[in-house]
Amino acid sequence: MEAMAIPLQESARPYSARESIKGDESATFDHYIVVGDRIIKECSNKRFISAAKAKDLAQRSTSPLKLHIGQGVNDQDLKQLYALEQGRVSIEPKRFVARACSATTHKHIASNIAISRAWDNGNGTYSSALMIDEDNSQLSDHLTGQHISGMMIVEAARQMSIATAEQFYMDSRLSRKVNFISHSISVEFKDFLLPVPTEILCIPVSLKRSGRQNFRFSVVLQFRQQGQSLADIKIDTSVIDSRYFYLKENQLVHRYITKAN
């Protein structure tokens, strides 16, 4: 199955300081990008604000306000920010999407889950939203400047590839445990990704099944901001029965010990 090129409509420039509202030249939106406190410390642009500052502005401001939900915001703050949306407060993205769960991402700590639950686009591709929590372990030593680190992007891509397989490729009727084995990961960074709203578009490339539960698949993950892909990551993965996985590990350990004697 060849990779599909899916044209996505580019949006207007939503991060400009002011945006006129059609039909009312006197009314303007004041734009801010809401990010986590740790990211704020690296941002020189005053349009980046914390969740606390955003909630304060929404309560005090009398002029139209548009809040773009960026990266580093935790789930509690996300729900509170979306609850602010009313006549003069607008939230982007419009739709609140819940964070993916441990079962689909194979992450045990919720703050380390960096994507939303994936959805089917209806054209052979899948999408999720990049949802980096400020407490994500990948941010601990990889936070320099106003952009998202490459290691964080690769981890989010890995999670999206696993989530796609779990949600759309796995047979839910089978209860036997499986493991995901990475064969290759190739990365192309085209530009810096800012900590702003980001779509992860998953484009399936190949899928080969060797049984009801075992299969190998490859996907391309595009990290898109304002309709433009700024990072393309191709991941080739196998899903295998856990019994074989642990047997293979034990064989490798035995081989090492035998050679070491």
What DSSP assignment string belongs to 164-184?
HIIIIIS-TT--S-EEEEEEE
Which residues, in sequence order, are CB contacts of 160 under 8 Å at separation 6+?
115, 118, 128, 200, 202, 221
Other Cβ atoms within 10 Å of 234 Cβ, number: 18
Could you give all domains of the chain from N- to C-terminal order, each with its CATH number?
Answer: 18-92 (no CATH), 102-248 (3.10.129.10)
Are 153 and 223 in contact by the 8 Å Cβ rule? The answer is yes
- Which tens digits make up the pLDDT trace of 118-149? 999 999 999 999 999 988 887 765 556 678 98
- Rounded Cα–Cα distance for residues 242 and 10 (Å): 43
Beta bridge partners of 72: 133
Which residues, in sequence order, are CB contacts of 161 under 8 Å at separation 6+?
202, 219, 221, 235, 237
At residue 177, the pLDDT reads 86
Q: Which residues of the chain have pLDDT under 50?
A: 1-27
Residue 67: helix, strand or coil by DSSP? Answer: strand
